[in-house]
């Protein structure tokens, strides 16, 4: 670094900052594009196949007559299972009108033997909540954008509506090269503890596959570090490929004392096999380097993290096997995730990921199946 | 059934109903017992190890001085990471007082460089929400019981608080006996479709392990059916033992269009090896029987469900192996889940489940590690 003058360093930093910002925005946007808001009836929520029967907001013309027939009611759509979904965009802006229509509608729906009612209340209308609860509705879940109210109408049947999600997903990325080294980082956030070396990782994003999350987290962590460390070595972004899930642990209670967390330990390797030598940076923000796998596994901090996952017994054995059979397992020119998924068919460690065909193009669902690589 | 008179049938139905009700209530209570409500600061939410630093409601005497020092403020506790948690039980019952104290407290906390604020608002105080949002707070998540408000205080740092959970967990139970038969059921709820044979299964409960969920769902489905079918055959509850996870699939978008679902296909066997012959019941509510595994896998409905999971290629191969090596794999007298977990060390199919030691007895966490059974 001392050999670089400010004039050559600044433009590089600017370019990296801009690229990182754009990449971040792309990640952020990804989930918002081209998705229909879908709702399922309380009834159809009962089975895992429920989403087959989802109806799209404002698209179900078949039921249009129902909610136009009575102007005293809240605008709604019904589904084949006698569930009601109030159309969020047509909720009255006047609070008095909301109260009148809600109580009238609930009476009518009950008389007409509808079963479950869903109302997605935008946060701007949060003052409407109180009356909803007075009318016997309950809060199902909420986000920054909305509060979901629901009511189970049949008096003679137990409310079968399942709770909202209560599991977090996370990934750890064990990135290994041919020299039997792994990528280790020290996080910026040390929470007052002594900082320690760990594998990159983080949370699985909303509607993201586990394998993609591992690849993304590996890349993002590297990119983050690029700003502070690797740009000085004139390295650019590094792509990893997903090999397999080495194992996963489920832990509870987790955040808020009433959730659980599943953490998937993923095996990755850099697409570019050229070994990278990281300059050991003393900056307090972040550190990154290659570390001999044996050394990493023998660190006290690693042991204290991984002993719970039987890391040494399970993972080391798998990684040993992988390193011995490297040439058999991998094509020398894998370029993307799909390729690598095909390539690792030859390995027998961990769980492979197979992207599956959409059940229906209409629903645009993504499905991934993880299966053991055991060769029986 | 026609041979049973009403007098002998009624008492049996009553006993089974009572037993089922008690069992259900026991399940329902399970998660409520002996749990402390825990909160984590917004800051400590950043890493998967965050829960190491949780503080217990009303138990952190160390910080008592802070919230007693200023009676104009909301009662709160702080943590080592400069996070604030307002004590729910001490939120003013008077709305005006709430508003005054909230705005004053937020100002003070910002001045004192605190970072994140959490307020768990009971639904009874839902009318307080509006003012909270006006003060720049946001809804993080909500349940039937409470709405969680939060605010990220530092103006010069990006809000790093992660979203609430967005993944559902489910299990399917493939229960296999020595005769190469599996348990199949038809659900009570057919949603207007033609009913079809499927394996028992359902949602993983809050803070429940995947393996226990599979065993529980297998048992509950059978118990449910006992009311309608098996009681006529004078069968009692049947215990299954968990063998392994054969694979799992991740699917998105799922419920509400913005969540994902992970479905774990679990291999189970009845603890009692005596083959049960179910009477094929014509009742519209539920059916249960043993079906030859080949027959089940060749049903059109099974194919349409399992083709997405490569069932035939992956699972059938594993099950074949299991049946061939049955005697090598299992002790003949396994009695409970822990035993079976030890016993299946000899199998090499699917993912084993290893219950792990708690990291700290203080947190009473449960951890399970799933690892491939591959014998390298």
pLDDT at residue B290 in the model: 83
pLDDT in tens, B292-309: 887 887 787 776 655 554
Average pLDDT of every residue of chain A: 67
pLDDT at residue A76 in the model: 93
Q: A176 and A147, same structural domain?
A: no
Stronger pLDDT, A59 or A295, i.e. the higher one: A295
- Strand partners of residue B245: B266, B351
Contact A198, A217 (CB under 8 A): no
Q: A108 and A222, same structural domain?
A: no
* Minimum distance, in Å, between the CA of residue A1 and any CA atom of chain B: 27
- What value does the mean pLDDT take over residues A109-117? 92
Q: B368 and B270, same structural domain?
A: yes
Judged by average pLDDT, the poorest of A283-287, A364-368, B29-33, B267-271 is B29-33
Length of chain B: 376
**DSSP structure string for A17-83:** HHHHHHHHHHHHHHTTTT---EE--TTGGGSTTGGGG-EETTT-GGGHHHHHS-TTSPPEEE-TTSE
- Count of beta carbons in the 10 Å neighbourhood of residue B277: 10
Do the domain assignments include residue A223? yes
Question: Does position A144 have pLDDT exceeding 80, yes or no?
Answer: yes
CATH number at residue A101: 3.40.630.30
**Which strand (E) or helix (H) includes residue B203?**
strand B201-203
Judged by average pLDDT, the poorest of A11-25, A194-208, B74-88, B319-333 is A11-25
State the best of A144, A250, A324, A364 to mutate against chain B, taking most chain B CBs within 10 Å: A250
pLDDT at residue B268 in the model: 81
pLDDT at residue A322 in the model: 63
pLDDT at residue A186 in the model: 77
Question: Does position B163 have pLDDT exceeding 50, yes or no?
Answer: yes
pLDDT at residue A43 in the model: 29
Cβ-Cβ contacts under 8 Å, B255 against chain A: 40, 45, 50-51
- What value does the mean pLDDT take over residues B109-125? 94
pLDDT at residue A174 in the model: 84
Domain boundary among A152, A185, A215: A152
pLDDT at residue A28 in the model: 35
pLDDT at residue A372 in the model: 54
B210-228 vs B6-30: helix axis angle to the nearest 10? 160
Question: Does position B12 have pLDDT exceeding 50, yes or no?
Answer: yes
pLDDT at residue B35 in the model: 27
pLDDT at residue B218 in the model: 79
CATH number at residue A342: 3.90.79.10
Do the domain assignments include residue A30? no
- What value does the mean pLDDT take over residues A281-306? 68
- B321 and A351 within 8 Å at the Cβ level: the answer is no
- Strand partners of residue B368: A250, B355
State the best of B17, B152, B250, B362 to mutate against chain A, taking most chain A CBs within 10 Å: B250
State the best of A168, A257, A303, A309 to mutate against chain B, taking most chain B CBs within 10 Å: A257
Report residue B120 CA to chain centroid gap: 22
- Strand partners of residue A269: A241
Judged by average pLDDT, the poorest of B99-108, B296-305, B359-368 is B359-368
- A255 and B348 within 8 Å at the Cβ level: the answer is no
* Minimum distance, in Å, between the CA of residue A359 and any CA atom of chain B: 8
State which residue of chain A sits closest to B244, comparing Cα positions. Answer: A372
- B167 and A165 within 8 Å at the Cβ level: the answer is yes
pLDDT at residue B51 in the model: 32
Question: Does position B376 have pLDDT exceeding 70, yes or no?
Answer: no
Q: B66 and B101, same structural domain?
A: yes
Contact B174, B266 (CB under 8 A): yes
Do the domain assignments include residue B28? no
**Which strand (E) or helix (H) includes residue B228?**
helix B210-228
- A139 and B139 within 8 Å at the Cβ level: the answer is no
State the best of A140, A144, A167, A261 to mutate against chain B, taking most chain B CBs within 10 Å: A167
Judged by average pLDDT, the poorest of A65-69, A184-188, A236-240, A359-363 is A359-363
Q: Distance (Å, rounded) from C-alpha B125 to C-alpha B88?
A: 10
Residue A359 confidence class, pLDDT cut points 50, 70, 90 = very low
- What value does the mean pLDDT take over residues A102-114? 95
Q: Distance (Å, rounded) from C-alpha A162 to C-alpha B171?
A: 14
Stronger pLDDT, B107 or B346, i.e. the higher one: B107
Do the domain assignments include residue A176? yes
Question: Does position A27 have pLDDT exceeding 60, yes or no?
Answer: no
pLDDT at residue A333 in the model: 43
For a pLDDT cut of 90, what percent of chain B falls above it?
23
Cβ-Cβ contacts under 8 Å, A213 against chain B: none
Cβ-Cβ contacts under 8 Å, B261 against chain A: 48
Q: Distance (Å, rounded) from C-alpha B51 to C-alpha B32?
A: 20
Residue B41 confidence class, pLDDT cut points 50, 70, 90 = very low
Q: B319 and B291, same structural domain?
A: yes
Domain that holds residue A347: 166-372
Q: B244 and B122, same structural domain?
A: no
pLDDT in tens, A324-341: 665 555 544 444 444 433
What letters, b where the CB count within 10 A reaches 16 and e where it falls short, cover A74-110? bbbbbbebbbbbbbbeebbeeeeebbebbeebbeebe
Cβ-Cβ contacts under 8 Å, B374 against chain A: 318, 348-349, 372-374
- What value does the mean pLDDT take over residues B224-253? 57
* Minimum distance, in Å, between the CA of residue A17 and any CA atom of chain B: 15
Cβ-Cβ contacts under 8 Å, A37 against chain B: 257-258
Q: B44 and B74, same structural domain?
A: yes
pLDDT at residue B188 in the model: 64
Q: A260 and A124, same structural domain?
A: no
CB-side exposure of A22: number of CA atoms within 13 Å? 6
Total count of domains within chain A: 2
Stronger pLDDT, A37 or B205, i.e. the higher one: B205
Do the domain assignments include residue B27? no
- A366 and B252 within 8 Å at the Cβ level: the answer is yes
pLDDT at residue A346 in the model: 40
Domain boundary among A128, A152, A176: A152
pLDDT at residue A227 in the model: 42
Query: Which of A253-257, A269-273, B120-124 has the largest mean confidence?
Result: B120-124
- A376 and B348 within 8 Å at the Cβ level: the answer is yes
Average pLDDT of every residue of chain B: 67
> Known catalytic residue: B234?
yes
Question: Does position B206 have pLDDT exceeding 60, yes or no?
Answer: yes
Do the domain assignments include residue B24? no
A6-30 vs A210-228: helix axis angle to the nearest 10? 160
Length of chain A: 376
pLDDT at residue B15 in the model: 57
Q: A176 and A123, same structural domain?
A: no
- What value does the mean pLDDT take over residues B194-220? 82
Q: Which two tokens stand for residue A199?
A: 């594998």
Size of interface A-B (CB pairs under 8 A): 283
Q: State phi, psi for B336 to the nearest 5 degrees.
A: -150, 175
Q: ω before B253 within 30° of 0 (cis)? A: yes
| Residue recorded with tokens 């100002």 | B107
Do the domain assignments include residue A304? yes
pLDDT at residue A145 in the model: 95
Q: A307 and A241, same structural domain?
A: yes
For A250: left if phi > 0, alpha if psi spans -120 to 50, otherwise beta; the answer is beta
Residue A191 confidence class, pLDDT cut points 50, 70, 90 = low
Residue A375 confidence class, pLDDT cut points 50, 70, 90 = very low
Domain boundary among B121, B152, B183: B152
- The ipTM (two decimal places) reads 0.71
Q: A211 and A244, same structural domain?
A: yes
Interacting residues of A104 by C-beta distance below 8 A, sequence separation 6+: A72, A73
Question: Does position A270 have pLDDT exceeding 70, yes or no?
Answer: yes
Q: Looking at B48, B49, B163, B234, which residue is catalytic?
A: B234
Judged by average pLDDT, the poorest of A4-13, A29-38, B310-319 is A29-38
Judged by average pLDDT, the poorest of A168-172, A306-310, B196-200, B300-304 is A306-310
- A206 and B166 within 8 Å at the Cβ level: the answer is yes
- B249 and A367 within 8 Å at the Cβ level: the answer is yes
* Minimum distance, in Å, between the CA of residue B227 and any CA atom of chain A: 16
- What value does the mean pLDDT take over residues B131-156? 95
Residue B68 confidence class, pLDDT cut points 50, 70, 90 = low
Judged by average pLDDT, the poorest of A168-182, A236-250, B93-107 is A236-250
- What value does the mean pLDDT take over residues B27-54? 30
Question: Does position B44 have pLDDT exceeding 50, yes or no?
Answer: no
pLDDT at residue A306 in the model: 59
Q: A135 and A250, same structural domain?
A: no
**DSSP structure string for A141-160:** EE-SSEEEEEEE--TTS---
B162 → closest Cβ in A45, A81, A203: A203
**Closest by Cα among B224, B217, B263 to B240:** B217
Q: Looking at A48, A49, A234, A300, which residue is catalytic?
A: A234
Judged by average pLDDT, the poorest of B94-98, B202-206, B263-267 is B263-267
Question: Does position B48 have pLDDT exceeding 50, yes or no?
Answer: no
- A349 and B374 within 8 Å at the Cβ level: the answer is yes
pLDDT in tens, B279-290: 443 443 367 788
The CA-atom distances, in angstroms, between B244 and each of A32, A247, A265, A371 are 37, 13, 18, 12
Q: Distance (Å, rounded) from C-alpha A16 to C-alpha A230?
A: 11
- What value does the mean pLDDT take over residues A162-169? 93
pLDDT at residue B340 in the model: 40
**Closest by Cα among B224, B222, B189, B201 to B17:** B224
Query: Which of A90-94, A217-221, B269-273 has the largest mean confidence?
Result: A90-94
Do the domain assignments include residue B320? yes
Cβ-Cβ contacts under 8 Å, A138 against chain B: 144
């Amino acid at each position: 670094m001392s050999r670089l003058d400010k004039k050559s360093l600044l433009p590089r930093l600017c370019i990296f900052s801009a690229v990182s910002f754009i990449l971040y925005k792309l990640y952020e946007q990804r989930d918002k594009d081209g998705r229909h808001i879908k709702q399922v009836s309380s009834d159809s929520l009962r089975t895992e196949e429920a989403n087959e029967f989802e109806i799209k907001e404002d698209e179900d013309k078949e039921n249009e007559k129902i909610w136009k027939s009575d102007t005293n009611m809240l605008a709604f759509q019904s589904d084949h299972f006698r569930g009601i979904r109030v159309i969020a965009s047509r909720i009255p802006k006047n609070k008095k009108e909301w109260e009148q229509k809600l109580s009238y509608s609930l009476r009518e729906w009950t008389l007409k033997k509808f079963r479950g009612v869903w109302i997605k209340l935008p946060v701007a209308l949060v003052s409407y909540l109180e009356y909803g609860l007075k009318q016997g509705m309950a809060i199902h879940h909420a986000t920054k954008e909305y509060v979901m109210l629901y009511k189970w109408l049949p008096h003679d049947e137990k409310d079968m509506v399942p709770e909202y999600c209560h599991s977090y997903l996370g990934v750890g990325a064990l990135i290994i090269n041919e020299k039997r080294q792994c990528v280790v980082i020290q996080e910026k956030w040390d929470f007052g503890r002594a900082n320690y070396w760990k594998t990159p990782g983080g949370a699985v994003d909303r509607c993201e596959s586990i394998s993609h999350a591992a690849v993304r987290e590996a890349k993002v962590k590297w990119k983050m570090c690029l700003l502070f460390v690797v740009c000085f070595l004139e390295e650019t972004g590094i792509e990893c490929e997903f090999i397999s899930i080495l194992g996963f642990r489920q832990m509870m209670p987790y955040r808020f004392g009433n959730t659980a967390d599943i953490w998937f330990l993923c095996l990755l390797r850099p697409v570019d096999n050229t070994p990278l030598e990281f300059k050991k940076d003393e900056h307090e923000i972040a550190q990154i380097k290659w570390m001999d796998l044996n050394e990493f596994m023998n660190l006290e901090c690693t042991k204290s993290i991984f002993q719970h996952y039987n890391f040494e017994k399970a993972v080391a054995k798998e990684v040993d096997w992988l390193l011995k059979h490297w040439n058999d397992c991998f094509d020398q020119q894998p370029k993307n995730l799909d390729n690598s998924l095909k390539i690792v068919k030859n390995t027998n460690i961990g769980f492979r990921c197979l992207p599956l065909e959409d059940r229906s193009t209409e629903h645009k669902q993504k499905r991934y199946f993880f299966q053991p690589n055991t060769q029986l």
